[in-house]
Structure 1
Amino acid sequence: MRLLHTSDWHLGRSFHGHSTLPQLRTVLGAIPGIVREHGVDAVLVAGDVFDHAAPAAELYTVLAEAIRGIRDAGAIVVMISGNHDNAIRLGFQAEWAALGGVHVLTGPESFRHPLGLSDEHGAIDVYGIPYLEPMLQRDLFPGERIREHGELLTRVTGEVDALRAERGNRSIALSHCFAANLKNPDPDQDPLAAGADLVWDLTSGGLDLVPAEVFAGPDYVALGHLHGRSELSSSVRYSGAPVHFSFGEAGRPRGAWLVELGAAGLERVEWVSLPIPRPLARLRGTIDELLEGEEYARHAGDWVEATLTDAVRPIDAMRRLRERFPFCARIEFAPEGVRPEHARSYASRVAQRGDTEVVDEFLKHVRGGEGLDEGERGLLAQVLVEAREKVSGGNS
């Protein structure tokens, strides 16, 4: 049996205020071609199908298009809910969807009722472990005080392992969590060791750490939640998101894992790339260099993050940059050759200065070095006195 492991579609997510739906439509539209080319039997979606708990109606249409394309190509669909999904909404009508080859496993007890598949070698059990919130799923293990996600997943996978031993079939698991190798992390693969956009209180996106070792039992474990591709072991992997959702993901591949099960279990896993409709470009230089340099012309159709090194912050920088880079989404200001105190925020630089000094410096900046003249100083002093009187009168 051949499986295609994907996750974190995040339908409805924006990219610095821009919709990612056109890019997602293109990428999800490429999956049926992969299904046909590689003879995929099932497409696995390991959670975070939507980006919000209450998706807009248009997003359901996009999801339906993606699923219809996969089914027309000959593969079934198996998906679980993630921490961004509303499990009840995503799982609505799951019973009827299953009749059409679309298996939506969102119930807290889904892992106790494995989905049965089969190939020429016999039965395969699929254990769906949707995102489970410890404080909300206390009924899973009555009488037990489980407060952390890692503790809950350890308990869940222990029950899955018991079911696997009892049933004796080859098995696949889907889980949406933040898993990492705690004992021997691989700096090149493990998300914790590699620092894959994680915060260092051992949580990511509100999920606490799950030891990767708890997933050692099934023949293959399709993980979701982290947006970068990673391999915790030969059989436990993250596929990452199908499109880039932040500039921190620049340079990271987008794709899915093609998984092949044989008679004895896992036989082969290989990476299949997905198209990148709008690449990420992180450009650095003065605004004139970015606007005039020939080497930057190829980024006209990319999402652009521009780090401007001008000594003085350019006026109307975003508008000017978007004339050349229509999809410039973010600007950073990092002046080169400027003393550190001048690179601080405006508020911190003026905090210890008088009002007259601040106005004088501002006028010098906008008038080519010409500050307050005597007449303007007198007028400004009068205005400041009147303003202070109004403030003190209003506080009396």
Structure 2
Amino acid sequence: MRVLHTSDWHVGRTFHGRDLLADQEQVLSGLADLVTTERVDVVVISGDLYDRAVPSGEAVEMCVRVLARVREAGAQIVVTPGNHDSAARVGAFAEFAAAGGLHLRTRICGLHEPVLLDDAHGPVAFYGIPYLEPDPARRALQSCGDVPGAGDVDARGHAAVLTEAMRRITTDLRARASQTRSVVLAHAFVTGGEPTESERTIAVGGVEQVPGSVFDGAHYVALGHLHGPQRLDEHLRYSGSPVAYSFSEARQRKSVWLVDLAESGLAGVERRELPVPRRLATVRATLDDLLAHEQYADLEEAYLSATLTDEVRPLEAMRRLQQRFPHAVHLEWEPDAGRATSTLRYSEAVRGRDDHTLARGFVADCRGSEPTTSEQELLSEALRSADVAEAAG
């Protein structure tokens, strides 16, 4: 059996205020082509299908289109929710969806009940561990009743609830035929993994990291949560996100894992890189140099993070920068000579400008984009109120 390991789609996420739905659909739709060309039997999504617990209608519609293409290409789909998802919403109509080949494993009390799919060598059991926030998960595990293999559910922390989850899974697996192979989907921060700036912390209820030994007993563990593809052990891997969500991911090559299961278990894992709809780039220079020099021409179509080194902070820098680099989304000011000298000269740059222009420029510099018309009206109203209060003493 061949499994395609993916995670952290974060459908509906924005990038410094830019809508990424078109980029996401372009990349994720390509998974259907991989299913066809690589003869994939099962696609797994290990958490964070959506970026929000309540995704927008547009995000849901796009996700449905992508999942339908993958299913039409011939693969079964197994999904478990992450810390960004609402397990209840992702798992809605799970029984009906399973009839069409979409298996939604979202219930904590059902995490030891696998999706069983057969190949020429017998069954493969896919277990989905939804994201387990320690205290709510501990209470949910306690309420599950008489579950085979249930252990101590009074212990607290990420490692404790995941250990209990895996205890229930391995107990179920041991009760099955000896030739049953296993794939575990889990959304967690495993010790040894390297985070980026775009993951939301899961340090709730204690230390967020868990040891890889928690997952001993599974033939393959498809991890989600960290956005960089990485191998912690031959059978223990993060696929990473299919699209970059922070400039700390600019050097990553986004990819998925092709996992082959033979009669005795894991037979091999191969990496397949994903297309990049728009690359990320960072640059450090003065604003005038960025606007004038041909050496920066290759950055014009990239999502750009610019650090300006001008001695005096340029006014309306983002607006001017976007005239040449329309996809510039992030701006910082770090003068080479140091901020102390530059601050003394800032008064020269603002001399002769009215309060509204200064306030608008301040908002644009801090946020990286010009204030909207309604925001400018609010600024004007606030300044008028200040003038009235000052005149009244």
Superposition TM-score, scaled by structure 1 size = 0.82
Q: What SS is found at the alignment partner of 2:64?
A: helix
Residue of structure 2 in register with 1:323 after alignment? 323
Question: Is it true that 1:364 corresponds to 2:348 in the alignment?
Answer: yes
Give the whole-Å Cα distance in 2 for the aligned partners of 1:158 and 1:198.
Answer: 31
Distance change in 2, residues 1:123/1:299 (3 Å) = same
For each residue in 1:120-175, what CA deviation from the matched residue of structure 2 results, as whole angstroms up to 9, or x when unmatched? Answer: 11111111101122222313135732331121101111222222222131100000
Identical-residue share of aligned pairs (%): 41
Residue of structure 1 in register with 2:212 after alignment? 212
Equivalent runs, 1:40-189 vs 2, <5 Å: 40-137=40-137, 138-141=139-142, 144-167=153-176, 168=178, 169-181=180-192
Given that 2:49 and 2:85 are in contact with CA atoms closer than 8 Å, whether structure 1 keeps it comes out as yes
Code of the residue aligned with 2:140 in structure 1: it is D
Deviation at 1:109, TM superposition (A): 2.1
Residue of structure 1 in register with 2:366 after alignment? none
Q: What SS is found at the alignment partner of 2:61?
A: helix
Residue of structure 2 in register with 1:250 after alignment? 250
Unmatched segments (≥5 aa) in structure 1: 182-189, 350-360, 369-386
Give the whole-Å Cα distance in 1 for the aligned partners of 2:49 and 2:7.
Answer: 7
Given that 2:6 and 2:239 are in contact with CA atoms closer than 8 Å, whether structure 1 keeps it comes out as yes
Give the whole-Å Cα distance in 2 for the aligned partners of 1:222 and 1:241.
Answer: 13
Given that 1:198 and 1:204 are in contact with CA atoms closer than 8 Å, whether structure 2 keeps it comes out as no
Give the whole-Å Cα distance in 2 for the aligned partners of 1:108 and 1:159.
Answer: 11
Distance change in 2, residues 1:341/1:41 (3 Å) = same
Give the whole-Å Cα distance in 2 for the aligned partners of 1:95 and 1:81.
Answer: 16
Distance change in 2, residues 1:367/1:196 (3 Å) = closer
Distance change in 2, residues 1:227/1:31 (3 Å) = same
Given that 1:110 and 1:127 are in contact with CA atoms closer than 8 Å, whether structure 2 keeps it comes out as no
Q: For structure 1, which segment, 144-153 or 50-59, has the greater mean C-alpha deviation from structure 2 after superposition?
A: 144-153
Distance change in 2, residues 1:324/1:161 (3 Å) = same
Code of the residue aligned with 2:19 in structure 1: it is S
Deviation at 1:367, TM superposition (A): 4.7
Give the whole-Å Cα distance in 1 for the aligned partners of 2:322 and 2:307.
Answer: 14
Give the whole-Å Cα distance in 1 for the aligned partners of 2:197 and 2:348.
Answer: 42
Deviation at 1:289, TM superposition (A): 1.7
Given that 1:285 and 1:308 are in contact with CA atoms closer than 8 Å, whether structure 2 keeps it comes out as yes
Distance change in 2, residues 1:125/1:82 (3 Å) = same
Q: What SS is found at the alignment partner of 1:25?
A: helix
Deviation at 1:198, TM superposition (A): 9.1
Given that 2:83 and 2:131 are in contact with CA atoms closer than 8 Å, whether structure 1 keeps it comes out as yes
Residue of structure 1 in register with 2:24 after alignment? 24
For each residue in 1:59-104, what CA deviation from the matched residue of structure 2 results, as whole angstroms up to 9, or x when unmatched? Answer: 1111111111001111011000111111111110110000000001
For each residue in 1:12-65, what CA deviation from the matched residue of structure 2 results, as whole angstroms up to 9, or x when unmatched? Answer: 111111111111010011111111110000100001001111111111111111
Q: What SS is found at the alignment partner of 1:204?
A: coil
Give the whole-Å Cα distance in 2 for the aligned partners of 1:313 and 1:246.
Answer: 25
Deviation at 1:196, TM superposition (A): 4.1
Given that 2:312 and 2:346 are in contact with CA atoms closer than 8 Å, whether structure 1 keeps it comes out as no
Code of the residue aligned with 1:325 in structure 2: it is F
Give the whole-Å Cα distance in 1 for the aligned partners of 2:347 and 2:78.
Answer: 63
For each residue in 1:356-375, what CA deviation from the matched residue of structure 2 results, as whole angstroms up to 9, or x when unmatched? Answer: xxxxx76534459xxxxxxx
Code of the residue aligned with 1:144 in structure 2: it is V
Q: For structure 1, which segment, 117-126 or 285-294, has the greater mean C-alpha deviation from structure 2 after superposition?
A: 285-294
Equivalent runs, 1:369-380 vs 2, <5 Å: none
Residue of structure 2 in register with 1:184 after alignment? none
Q: For structure 1, which segment, 70-79 or 209-218, has the greater mean C-alpha deviation from structure 2 after superposition?
A: 209-218
Give the whole-Å Cα distance in 1 for the aligned partners of 2:110 and 2:290.
Answer: 53
Give the whole-Å Cα distance in 1 for the aligned partners of 2:346 and 2:26.
Answer: 48
Q: What SS is found at the alignment partner of 2:71?
A: helix
For each residue in 1:341-388, what CA deviation from the matched residue of structure 2 results, as whole angstroms up to 9, or x when unmatched? Answer: 346xx6xx8xxxxxxxxxxx76534459xxxxxxxxxxxxxxxxxx9x
Give the whole-Å Cα distance in 2 for the aligned partners of 1:56 and 1:364.
Answer: 46
Distance change in 2, residues 1:50/1:153 (3 Å) = same
Superposition TM-score, scaled by structure 2 size = 0.82
Given that 1:309 and 1:334 are in contact with CA atoms closer than 8 Å, whether structure 2 keeps it comes out as yes
Given that 1:115 and 1:126 are in contact with CA atoms closer than 8 Å, whether structure 2 keeps it comes out as yes
Given that 1:178 and 1:204 are in contact with CA atoms closer than 8 Å, whether structure 2 keeps it comes out as no
Q: What SS is found at the alignment partner of 1:50?
A: coil
Code of the residue aligned with 1:150 in structure 2: it is A
